[in-house]
Amino acid sequence: MDMSTENEIQRLTVLLEEYNYQYYVLDNPSVPDSEYDRIFQQLQTLEKSHPEYLNPNSPTQKVGGLALTKFEQVKHQLPMLSLDNVFSEQALSDFIQRVTDRFDEQTAFCIEPKLDGLAASLIYEKGLLVQAATRGDGKIGEKVTENVKTIANVPLKLRGDNIPALLEVRGEVFMPKAGFNKLNEGLINAGEKPFVNPRNAAAGSLRQLDSKVAASRPLAFYCYGVGVFEGQLANTQFERIQQLKGWGLPISAEIKRLIGKENCQDFFDDMQLKRANLSYEIDGVVYKVDDISLQERLGFVARAPRWATAYKFPAEEAVTVVENVEFQVGRTGAITPVAKLKPVFVGGVTVSNATLHNKDEIQRLGILIGDQVVVRRAGDVIPQVARVLFDKRDPDSTREIVFPMVCPVCQSSVERIEGEATIRCSGGLYCQAQCKQAIKHFASRKALDIDGLGNKIVELLVDHNMIKHPSDLFSLTIDQLSSLPRMGEVSAKKLINSLQISKQTTLARFLYSLGIREVGEATANNLANYYKSIEAVKNAGIEDLKAVADVGEIVAKHVYYFFRQEHNVEVLTKLIDAGIHWPEIKAAEQEKQPLIGQTLVITGSFSSMSRSDIKNALQALGAKVAGSVSKNTDTVVAGEAAGSKLIKAQELGINIMDEAALLTMLEK
Ligand code: IWH
């Protein structure tokens, strides 16, 4: 009986270790979580009834134990170095040149994202985790073994063959974004202070004296190198990392080995694009000479290796002053408070405005005009005020933000809706601000797609009283247009021409272009397919509208009331009178132009057709063919030797079509 219990504990342990490896390291679980949980409970039950067989490295032992009164200090046998930083393409290029100049051949680099966490050292003896320490000052750190043992993806025991007798693994302890958000939510609900960012949360959690608290924190670990070791390791950085992975240690999925400045810079650019979609925060990219013997030849300067550098993203947060708050009127009349900032360089651009969203947000921030604030600009997202520096507030130079009683643009009354934080201008298209936004929307890419009618020109046209409604666009003359500042006769003619072209559209685009609240591209499509004519949409009742795919009570009401407003119907009539038209929706018509509304990009070279023939063929099917890949691209048609456009498309998750697939589609 005892023998079989011991065997059973051993069997379950091995099984869970394998599941953990598949889940955390290979990112490819072989069983559902419920099955993992079932085995886990079985093992836990057996261990409880037979404590004599409980192994301290059992997969069940990740829950933390006794609380410490302080952390012991540990001296790192090999110092934990810092990295040199670079902040520009030129500086990266200089680094690569400097390294390459030392050797005859092109030097390969092992490249990885730089995680925004804390460096840690994990020591495995005979494959068992015996000590974990923080980096500290690089020479002396703190022993946080009990806490690190609770990190879900840190193996207590290594797996596989040829495990070194001694292995110091270096890596980053961090908190994934999702876990951070959940942790903060819990802290706020409990009336406690949330962490400012995932890095602080990771630091606070790793330095918990009570390892049970640390165990409750969603920490993770990725390794990026080796410190001391006894035994044989591969002689390149890239292969060593793969060895660590094979022994059950988690590594970032992004690590690559590359040669050449261009590839190195491309990796950085790609990482910057991917950044927002990664599940954890990164603050740059690390480049390491791949060959360990070359690393040794390069050696160190002061406390940083000459064979590695960190290329940092521009800071996403900066401190500045709120000089004023203005109120902007949007397309639907929503009045948004905008903080006018002392210009500050953040996220790679100079920022002088940040949205404050609404009253609730202002209250949440506790912000006053004159406050010093942290401004955040991440990726392409509009700048936000992250928080107020209350310690720096000077009551003499701050004042409250007062919401306007009337629209700041047209002086119409302001609507406040019970339970909504947003206030709205009631002026409709009488309000110049709403009018401008409506026309910009009307001309935008997914609406009538009027080439050459950018935001600046719309503003000028409205300011010069040349247009009031979208329908006025179609009676503009070349003389009128060329009288505008910075508009010559050539651009005026071009614009008149694109206005002419834009009249041929689709019902879906036309419906979208009207700017009905809550009617986006998808809803416009659904409405068009369901009703097939503008008259039918116009006459539809609320209940009937609700029968359209994805249309609920709110959308239905917005559509219904839009067509009950006299001036909307008037504009609509004028647009049709101006000559806006679309093919009648019949199944056969739609098949003729299956690519209408889609943007394609052609890249690479093709063997069966020239690029211009492909372009013509795609346009004949209704597609718009663009020159560069962006998030608006629907499909990239990639031939042989496609380069950066293809890579970008892959990063953005855009549909990719090769030559064979293209030909098949064209034949259809
Ligand atoms: C209940 N998970 O940590 C439960 N599928 O191989 C059990 C396990 C997990 C969740 C929920 C989220 C996560 C899954 C596996 C392995 C380890 C592990 C697995």
| Residue pLDDT, tens place only, 259-280 | 999 999 999 999 998 998 899 9
The CB of 582 under 6 Å from ligand 1? The reply is: no
Statement: the pTM of the whole predicted model exceeds 0.95? no
Atom of ligand 1 nearest to the CA of 35: 5
According to the model, what pLDDT value does residue 430 have? 85
User: Contact 311/268 with Cβ under 8 angstroms?
Assistant: yes
Catalytic member of 114, 157, 436, 648: 114
CATH fold of 594-667: Rossmann fold (3.40.50)
Q: Give residue-wise pLDDT tens across range 145-174.
A: 999 999 999 999 999 999 999 999 999 999
According to the model, what pLDDT value does residue 2 have? 59
According to the model, what pLDDT value does residue 587 have? 56
Distance CA 467, CA 474 (A): 10
User: Contact 71/143 with Cβ under 8 angstroms?
Assistant: yes
The domain defined by 73-312 carries CATH number 3.30.470.30: yes
The CB of 31 under 6 Å from ligand 1? The reply is: yes
Atom of ligand 1 nearest to the CA of 30: 6
Q: Which residues pair with 414 in a beta bridge?
A: 425
Atom 5 (ligand 1) nearest CA = 33
* CATH architecture of structural domain 3-61: Orthogonal Bundle (1.10)
Distance CA 216, CA 214 (A): 5
Atom of ligand 1 nearest to the CA of 29: 6
The CB of 41 under 6 Å from ligand 1? The reply is: no
Atom 12 (ligand 1) nearest CA = 33
Residues of the chain with confidence (pLDDT) below 70: 1-3, 586-593
Domain residue ranges in the chain = 3-61, 73-312, 594-667
Active-site annotation holds for 149: no
AA letter at 413: S
The CB of 553 under 6 Å from ligand 1? The reply is: no
Listed residue (170, 232, 222, 176) closest to 199, CA to CA? 176
Atom of ligand 1 nearest to the CA of 33: 5
221: tokens are 């670990």
Q: Measure the CA dihedral 515/516/522/523, to 10°.
A: -160
Centre of ligand 1 to C-alpha 5, Å, is: 24
Centre of ligand 1 to C-alpha 15, Å, is: 13
The CB of 153 under 6 Å from ligand 1? The reply is: no
According to the model, what pLDDT value does residue 413 have? 94
DSSP per residue over 195-219, as a string?
PSSHHHHHHHHHT-SBHHHHHTS--
